């Protein structure tokens, strides 16, 4: 018979220090860029993490808005080039005004108008010439609120293209394009085509200026790292969430690799930890306790 063994009395464990309550909230940091279409031009912008909490980024994504959104326009009769002759001759020293008028009379033939638009406000799609489109297109683009300021409006529109207004295409193409269009339809029968979002290409690089960390060996092509802007894989998760301490400065660099012009927005998706341990706590030197 084995002797009874008195049970051991464990010393009461010291109460643990009360840990501060933490609360996580979703939060995104946004970088905005104006793409100018200049190949190999690098754009930089920064955001600063707030003082109230650390920020942990779990994924990154982007989206673009083309420079020109949908602008409807219609054909207008182009003024004959001959009408400019008197003004040009009047600038030549020694040429009398009567001579300019005589030259214009000799060069102006008596046939029917050069465009159906000068004869009737109702024409068919087949009767519209390319020259009829240019004045209406230039007026519409020039009055658009987002028209580019650094190039002619006509050039900005024709770089991407024009098309029939989808809402009026059935009426314009009736009877194989011979259907008569009244003035109200003519004013909006065409529209400017925006640059496809999938055409944008750029390199991107992410930095933590406070710690000096770089999160890639070299800038990454957007298609390789983020996917296409048409919605196919528009964002990706980081292999490991990236923690930024309060007051960290995060820098994003974009290098343009296409002629796409418009607004680019890159977003770091993540969360903030309120009332918790700072994100750089693991980097702090451990405290020493005396024996």
Give residue-wise pLDDT tens across range 57-84.
999 999 998 876 677 888 875 455 444 5
Q: Looking at residue 42, which CATH number applies to its domain?
A: 2.60.120
Side-chain half-sphere exposure of 266, counting CA atoms within 13 A = 27
Decide if 289 is inside a domain. no
Same domain, 131 and 76: yes
Decide if 147 is inside a domain. yes
| pLDDT attached to residue 85 | 53
Residue environment code for 117-134, b if the CB has 16+ CB neighbours within 10 A, otherwise e: beeeeebbbebbeeebbb
Tally of domains in the chain: 2
| pLDDT attached to residue 282 | 40
- Contact predicate 247/49, CB 8 Å: yes
Decide if 181 is inside a domain. yes
How far, in Å, CA of 186 to CA of 167, rounded? 12
How far, in Å, CA of 152 to CA of 142, rounded? 8
| pLDDT attached to residue 228 | 75
Domain hosting 76: range is 72-83+113-192
- Contact predicate 105/139, CB 8 Å: no
Instruction: Compute the average pLDDT of residues 269-288.
Output: 59
Same domain, 137 and 168: yes
Same domain, 164 and 206: no
Same domain, 214 and 166: no
Whole-model pTM?
A: 0.61
């Amino acid at each position: 018979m084995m002797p009874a063994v008195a049970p051991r009395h464990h010393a009461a464990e010291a109460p643990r220090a009360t840990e501060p309550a933490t609360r996580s909230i979703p939060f995104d940091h946004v970088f905005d860029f104006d793409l100018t279409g200049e190949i190999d031009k690098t754009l930089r912008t920064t955001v600063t993490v707030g003082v109230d909490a650390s920020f942990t980024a779990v994924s990154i994504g982007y989206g673009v808005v083309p420079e020109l959104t949908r602008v409807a326009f219609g054909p207008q009769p182009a003024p004959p080039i001959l009408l400019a002759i008197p003004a040009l001759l009047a600038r030549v020293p020694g040429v009398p005004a009567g001579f300019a008028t005589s030259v214009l009379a000799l060069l102006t033939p008596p046939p029917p108008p050069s465009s159906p638009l000068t004869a009737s406000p109702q024409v068919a799609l087949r009767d519209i010439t390319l020259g009829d489109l240019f004045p209406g297109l230039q007026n519409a683009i020039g009055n658009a609120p987002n028209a580019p300021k650094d190039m002619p409006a006509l050039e900005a529109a024709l770089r991407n293209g024009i098309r029939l207004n989808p809402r009026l295409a059935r009426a314009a193409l009736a009877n194989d394009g011979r259907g008569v269009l009244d003035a109200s339809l003519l004013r909006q029968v065409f529209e400017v085509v925006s640059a496809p979002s999938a055409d944008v290409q750029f390199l991107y690089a992410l930095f933590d200026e406070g710690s000096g960390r770089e999160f890639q060996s070299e800038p990454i092509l957007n298609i390789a790292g983020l996917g296409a802007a048409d919605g196919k894989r528009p964002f990706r998760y980081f292999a490991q969430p990236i923690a930024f301490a309060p007051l960290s400065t995060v820098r994003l660099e974009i290098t343009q690799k296409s002629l796409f012009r418009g607004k680019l927005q890159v977003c770091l998706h993540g969360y903030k930890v309120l009332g918790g341990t700072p994100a750089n706590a693991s980097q702090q030197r451990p405290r020493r306790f005396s024996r």
